[in-house]
Structure 1
């Protein structure tokens, strides 16, 4: 059996059209067609990608006399009912998880706001500080409990982030239709969320220009900034959860077979990083009592996390 015939058989087994396979491999449909007709041969990187995507050895793809042995221990499947359960959980999560994150941001905004009020009411400084911290802890507790609840409900599907999954061809077609229908909404949500986060600095800039000496105005402008960011984050997380769920089932984008190998190999990094960052935040906050400033740890930490994740992925691909 030629390589072209093998690619055809494997593609049909997974329920992929030539366009779908081309998209997964980041090549043109014409390239896939030429491979299947044995007009050209895929490069080594594409052969490795197909090996991971179809769960076969590279030897099977390259050599005509190698028996067809699928690595069954690597393949896990979901039936149609399980897929619907997963999608239903994700529909609920895309509402509750963004709300939980917004509660945490709201708690930080409240703490900063009460610190600003203490300037107007210096005799109540201690009471306002205590109220701000208590409200922050209550909101964060509610938010964290919602996050934990979502995590526990979806725990049985965690493997989808790191391992290949096989679905029935009919279900694959259904999920692809869901993604195609959602694409316009996805584009709108991404645009709106990012624009809100960018525009959120306008109140702070305006206050700095017009009322730089007014400490209360500066503090309240930061509160407004956080509230606008909160709305933007809600939209982005809401959209990201649903888009991610569809990509995870289709094994596309951040959940392609190659990306899943990376996630499985470096899964420890995310938990270790955020635990360390939280420890830094708590130590700094309790030792300095500058709760209105220490929240910046998470803003800076989020940017740093993206950079480190990109660096690790780049080193891992070498």
Structure 2
């Protein structure tokens, strides 16, 4: 049984409207409808809450439907990548800003140190980017193998 039908069955067994069911999990009636029609999936925390509230095994909610598991996994990876990207942007942006600010300052020891720090920050940003890219490629390879 797909997760949309499972959510629908749980809701009907509990004799709840979509609006009432949505209130339990802090979502709108439309969100419940989208989940029942498989236009979207609940996040993992909502599934855990459903499992606890209605005493249903997570195996029933997750294991039987691999597409939802892949979607949740993909969202988790994308969240990690988004977080990493903000850190990378910080390091490279600050490093570039430091170096740029030194373009018009007179030669001094402080200028040299600031340029060095700027280059170091850009290097850290590039290093973190290469690590993040590696994680993405590993995920993509793993995902491709799982589909075949």
Q: TM-score range by the shorter chain?
A: 0.3 to 0.5
TM-score, with structure 1 as normaliser: 0.21
TM-score, with structure 2 as normaliser: 0.41
Highest Rg: 1 or 2?
A: 1
